[in-house]
Structure 1
């Protein structure tokens, strides 16, 4: 299809694109749809480009900027398909130049454009007017010997390739940055360029970079192997609370002491238990995990301690229980509070005498098993309620470790998300562009009632619902989040998986009038709220922050400010 374009292309409305720009001046953020964008001064970009050229040379710097533009082109192609799903091929293609213009990158003037997706034909000839890269070359860097519009070229190649569904290469045949009269680009399928393979190398990481990455990967693999050999692999996390828990466990790993892991459902207690096993001198022996809540109560004793033939109806043969299978190694009893009274008595005997007696048997068998128990309930309360034996509790509670919930270790989110993305990209043979900025904002404010298990499921759903080379949207992550939650900014409270607009929180006007009539200032109200929240949570900053719907860093900053004000007032 051939179109004599400028008149026809210029009529394509840009209002749907401009409406996506949202400013949050109080938060220091600018949004374009679900993506964060920046305003940057050209002189700063010029200084960065100069430093890059001086550090790694022109060719590598050119490749860097072209890849930078390439990534932007991929994301804008995704955005264009979402915004204009019913557009014809020409309007969809022209969305790219419009987005470029909207961002202040360059004005596109079409000269000749031919598009026929069915036959795979594409030819584009455009003039770039007032390119930002030419601007910095002419005003900051000085004229160069080759075309200067590196990032713009990468963008054009990626955007058009994504729209056409085949590799399209644009070349800058003339450029004002190197003394030509105008910037002119020509684009056509890669097969029609003789040097396509050579040109495409700009979109691949430089060999020196690949070599460094390869070395880093090897080092990481060696460290991982060494860590596993030494049993020091505790999962993923660098936050202080999580590292402290791991350090505490590490001290117990080399001994035979029983460990009691405490924490909410989904925090990764089994991962920690396996790590204790790997860290111990039992690493070469069996690790047996048992979910006590998943086994029917009438079968729990037989499962754990074994059964002799004829002990009950259906016991047609003798078989070993989980403790015998774990002999010499480690057994992990998850949800240990669910054990029946008889099973608790048998477990106590194992801990005290290191022997088991099968159901229906008369002989005891010696076992050498390290017991790691876990629960998301309070065993102390279960003892008070008569649900759990006190003597068993004291034997299990020799070395208790509290595993922090995900909401108290949000600094680990990037590491965890990266880990799960890599896993599910591999599992489903696809490659997304990761989470959108809106998605990141949401998950950092979400309360994660299901902890790491919930995060894993959320990322898996996002990868499944997202096409290759597209960003994972908020709707893909959380199926229950409606468009109103996605299209607004910081106007929501995230709690227990629910999204609540503050405008929907019911209050009465009486206390507000009282505060105003008594001329109580905002600073005083804030101080009282913070002090009250800290008192209610026994000075737990993370918990207090959740009560106040603040991030932990935000509350820590306010506490520091209050402390400084108090110090000033005392002088």
Structure 2
């Protein structure tokens, strides 16, 4: 894990100490607090619910402003009055160090220390406030990181001894990929009404604004297309959903593209339920799950006596979906012969059951899906080009979960709600550590993998408790944690564990040679006598291990 050079330059890690006996956490000479992000998020939500959005935003912004000012003072105490820019840059590192957000300041910031001018922007990742806002209110149309913006404004204003105002222009809480803030002197913002949040409140004016906001929100509720049980607010999800919603009311055939597990059938069901055919059947078939010799009878039906075992006539999926929507999943797995018959149905709307001469007419909207590169399949001769152009009239690519990680808290909340009902349990949500691990996961199985983990978590979590990391994963992924050594200094957990082991050994009379011999013997035993493998366990070469074993064997008789 890369560490910012400033963290090491100013030895910031060693300044953070935990005095467990006194119940104190210190950063330098300043007392700090560890708060549950969920409890702070609950307080934040209550501010919005009881005071209204406008007053809550102002309170959060001014609270963050004061926090930023205090950290500016702390930065000077920690690192002195050295290089101005280095001292200033400690602020973003403190913001990350305190677990609030990861900050990347733009390299093209315009800074003039003598004239006290700052103009620049910064990009945020992992904003706790955006995540909390999404969990409490879902995606919205406005930025949500009010206290963090206040912090940036307060910190920078303290350094430049004039009011520098930051404003959030992009936010994960409204579906942007990153949160972005822009800062400049207050007078350069002109008469932007945003500046009122920094001033004492005008209650009457705020009430009028709240009424206007309520009217605006009511208008949005009337006009927005609801994604229903399609959950997401990220830019990739919104792009796919916008394409889907534009096609919903038309009869156009849709091709859903995406990796396994991204939720293609859910998208297809949403498309059907918001189409003119919603009152008619939605029929789904996985073309890759049915043997090639049976797929035609499943799609087009079979007449009694058509083949051995056909004891009665039955309609295929096309007939069952007449007037509605047929979802063809894994369409890229169809055999060449089936592709020909499917093309005919798409072109003419007519089909014949296996073993029947009677032509039947069907009115079906086809939504196909695949995780196969159909263009490459065409080039390889495995898929018909004319069928592709029939199916791919309107392609929609569903992004993999790793490209829409900001949607994970929303998905987890929705899936938790689903499974607490199924298992009749009461769950308080997901722990911060578990959520952090979910956010860091690569998700090769996409939403399906996430759903499986959440179902497992709901099942294993205690009644009335939270879903913890061990409830989600049978073997939790390794993480670069931090821990405390005996003096209360934070460090990487693996390093801290080794230091604790060493300290425990030194608390008793200790024989280093005997300890080394025992380690060598254990490694060889665990490796089943394979010296090369044992050497790798010990972090030495096979030759070094062989030398030490021979040395010990030579020494032992003389010590008898």
- Normalising by the smaller structure, the TM-score range is 0.3 to 0.5
TM-score by length of 1: 0.47
TM superposition score normalised by structure 2: 0.48
